[in-house]
Amino acid sequence: MEDPTIGTFIAVFEEMFGGALFWGMVVLALLITAAYLYVLIRDRAVSWRKFLWAQLAMPIGAIAAVWFVLAITKSRLADIGGPIDLIIVLGIAALGAVGAAILVYTVQSLIKGKQTAE
């Protein structure tokens, strides 16, 4: 991949996950991001109690993301061969952790609504 472009990455992800799953994940990520921005604008402050619960969900999100990618690619942790593979797995775990935190914070805020005092 001498000249990586966005189109190249989209093609690789579509091949890896399948078109329907990939675009479904993209739409789901956009919806969760929009809901998160709505909550932040609505509340005008971060609820530290919700933020703590969101942080506690991060290890679960990291493990789930790595497991999901390994299941989709039909790989095992034993297939990790070099430093770049380890960097990719750690990147997937980091993105899964952040995604889980955003999801948990957003769901809590949407369910409980805006709270005036904590």
How many domains would you assign to the chain? 1
Q: What does the pLDDT read at residue 116?
A: 59
Evaluate whether residue 13 is within a structural domain: yes
CA geometry: angle at 13 spanning 8 and 15, to 5°? 95
Is pLDDT at 7 greater than 60 in this prediction?
yes
With b for 16 or more beta-carbon neighbours within 10 A and e for fewer, the 26-37 pattern comes to: eeeeeeeeebbe
State which residues form the domain around 26. 6-112
Contact 96, 65 (CB under 8 A): yes
Is pLDDT at 115 greater than 80 in this prediction?
no
Evaluate whether residue 25 is within a structural domain: yes
Could you report the per-residue pLDDT of 55-108, keeping only the tens digit for each?
A: 999 999 999 999 999 998 888 888 888 888 889 999 999 999 999 999 999 999
pTM of the model: 0.83
